[in-house]
Chain A
């Protein structure tokens, strides 16, 4: 069914939706509270991007994606994101918010690793999910979209790695929006308990055209407990008609590390927020992002690392290419709270514009409430150098090919540093598709 979400929308619908999933009481209560809050809370206000006319409310919410027996049933556009040569896949595919395929190696299961869809986790691991769900990461009442998300969450993944377990092979989740009007209210939680480590890679994929309007409202919470390490990779690849709000947030305890490798390759309007809270002493947050904008896209990217723990380290590196009439704002924010002495906040943002109608803006911000720290930032916004194109074309390359090389070159310093090999490959492939 299609729901028009407006102020004063349907409590009954949410109750019914929750009941239909046999959700525990706490989740139902959380949804209904959130729904009430959504009515009074304001929309988020991303810096320098007006979103009041973006579609966050017109979508199909209750979805019925079909199950698949084998990966062979996937269309090629999705298969390309999977390494099919692997003997053992730790893979989850969600098709229009229904779990369609899932596999996890036996050895990981035996070690107590949980890698399951959110609906199952809410039922089978209720206490564990409740402990993390919108508590210390993202709050329900941050703004209307977080509240709306909490009320209408309809999919996602839950990952839990127990103490002292090292997950060597990456876990991969694919969120495939097949119905061109489907709404992804996706919630992802990744928990790495003490002294554990895990690499998680996710892909959001849809192929809807500009006039096929869809909405995603994605919240992701990553927890790295003492001395744990999470490498989180994502290649977002949603179609031109999808308006996206994605908020990925990490919380790192003592000696913990969270590394983000984000390929922000959506074709539609996008707000992407990536926050890392460095709570513990000697914790580390590292955010690397690559973006390509094209068409009439408007996008706003924020990478924010907040230091609470002493001697914590935060690194932000974002490179973006804007083509056609695409617009993007890149905010890089390093915040060192009082007491986080010996901390270091570094950031770099670079934007390359390929056409005269493309717009890019980089805002490096350092907010520091402690004396004994180090910090640095670099930012640049520029157009493609006509001499570079002349040079390349004088060797026989077409303008398109020359631009392709320049874009690859511009993004390479980030792509080459991404800590996850699978993301590197996927990203190279998606960039190829976007620049041609």
Chain B
């Protein structure tokens, strides 16, 4: 089998003592695109952040493996080195560090000392990727995410995704706040990544992103766990009918978990 495998088993996560994930099970293989959907406050973003090792989230139960290696034992940077990537919903702004220096440091962090990417190769690759994402060239020299518009931040996350080429990417609401043109551009970037060696977990609130990126599997999250899974047709039905039918089917009254996230 090509690519990597991310296995999430019975994952429970708490923030400040309150349980937000209540037992998530999910396996993503190289070559597969999974979409996790659900209303606000059901734990979708918590799942994304917890897998990457966000300092605020506490894993209370369960396991996460990438290619059989225990992810929860790893530091954040080790998770990235193992092949994971998280496109963040709210990426940090870092003043004084140019986007280009940051990207180059990130790429070199994955390479051995003495095998750093050459400046020419880096610039060429970055220029090409920025063109594809229709990004203004001066963004390379701007400070990381500082003063970026919402749309620029999202494109910048995808720029990193494409330059870092992880084995498994988690995209946390990459579509939020994007107009339709930007959404198309971002989708183009993500689709370009599609091959047997790349697995992707797309977390989204809206179905519209899935008009441009076709998922292989769709999962619905409620009350901090996956309550329903299916193929692309499930996303379509959610678009047409909303979430109420699932709640009725499963006898759920309040789909949220913990305090409104």
Q: Which A residues lie at the B interface, using CB under 8 A?
A: 385-388, 390-399, 401-402, 405-406, 408-413
| Contact partner, B110, options A387, A388, A391, A396, Cβ 8 Å | A396
Once the chains bind, are A386 and B95 in contact (CB under 8 Å)? no
CA distance A406 to B79 in the complex (A): 21
Once the chains bind, are B54 and A395 in contact (CB under 8 Å)? no
Give the chain A neighbours of B261 by CB distance below 8 A: none
Is B92 in the interface zone, CB < 8 Å from A?
yes
Give the chain B neighbours of A397 by CB distance below 8 A: 77, 105-106, 109
Once the chains bind, are A388 and B101 in contact (CB under 8 Å)? no
CA distance A409 to B97 in the complex (A): 5
Chain A interface helix/strand/loop/mixed: helix
Among residues of B, the one whose C-beta sits closest to the C-beta of A388 is B92
Once the chains bind, are A412 and B96 in contact (CB under 8 Å)? yes
Given contacts A406-B94, A410-B95, A412-B96, whether A386 and B77 have CB atoms under 8 Å apart is no
**Whole-angstrom distance from the CB of B80 to the nearest CB of chain A?**
4
Once the chains bind, are B96 and A392 in contact (CB under 8 Å)? no
Is B164 in the interface zone, CB < 8 Å from A?
yes
Among residues of B, the one whose C-beta sits closest to the C-beta of A386 is B55
Once the chains bind, are A394 and B94 in contact (CB under 8 Å)? no
Give the chain B neighbours of A392 by CB distance below 8 A: 92, 94, 102, 106
CA distance A177 to B127 in the complex (A): 48
Given contacts A396-B77, A396-B81, A397-B106, whether A388 and B94 have CB atoms under 8 Å apart is yes
Once the chains bind, are B109 and A396 in contact (CB under 8 Å)? yes
**Whole-angstrom distance from the CB of B90 to the nearest CB of chain A?**
8
Among residues of B, the one whose C-beta sits closest to the C-beta of A415 is B96
Query: For chain B residues 157-210, which have a beta carbon within 8 Å of chain A?
Result: 160, 164
Among residues of B, the one whose C-beta sits closest to the C-beta of A409 is B96
Once the chains bind, are B53 and A390 in contact (CB under 8 Å)? yes
Once the chains bind, are B77 and A398 in contact (CB under 8 Å)? yes
CA distance A397 to B91 in the complex (A): 16
Number of CB contacts from chain A to chain B under 8 A: 83
Given contacts A396-B164, A397-B105, A405-B101, whether A413 and B77 have CB atoms under 8 Å apart is no
Q: Which B residues lie at the A interface, using CB under 8 A?
A: 52-55, 75-77, 79-81, 85-86, 88, 91-92, 94-97, 101-102, 105-106, 109-110, 143-144, 160, 164
Sample (21) of A-B pairs whose CB atoms are under 8 Å apart: A386-B55, A388-B92, A390-B52, A390-B54, A393-B77, A393-B80, A394-B80, A394-B86, A394-B88, A395-B85, A395-B102, A396-B80, A397-B77, A397-B106, A398-B109, A408-B96, A408-B97, A409-B95, A409-B144, A412-B96, A413-B95
Once the chains bind, are B92 and A395 in contact (CB under 8 Å)? no
Give the chain B neighbours of A398 by CB distance below 8 A: 77, 109
| Contact partner, B105, options A387, A391, A405, A411, Cβ 8 Å | A405
CA distance A142 to B65 in the complex (A): 67
CA distance A430 to B97 in the complex (A): 18
Give the chain A neighbours of B81 by CB distance below 8 A: 396
Once the chains bind, are A405 and B94 in contact (CB under 8 Å)? yes
**Whole-angstrom distance from the CB of B128 to the nearest CB of chain A?**
20
Given contacts A391-B91, A396-B110, whether A410 and B96 have CB atoms under 8 Å apart is yes
| Contact partner, B92, options A387, A410, A412, Cβ 8 Å | A387
**Whole-angstrom distance from the CB of B21 to the nearest CB of chain A?**
18
**Whole-angstrom distance from the CB of B39 to the nearest CB of chain A?**
25
Once the chains bind, are A390 and B96 in contact (CB under 8 Å)? no
Once the chains bind, are A391 and B92 in contact (CB under 8 Å)? yes
Among residues of A, the one whose C-beta sits closest to the C-beta of B82 is A396
Once the chains bind, are B106 and A395 in contact (CB under 8 Å)? yes
CA distance A391 to B106 in the complex (A): 11
Give the chain A neighbours of B75 by CB distance below 8 A: 393, 399
Give the chain B neighbours of A395 by CB distance below 8 A: 80, 85, 102, 105-106, 109, 160, 164
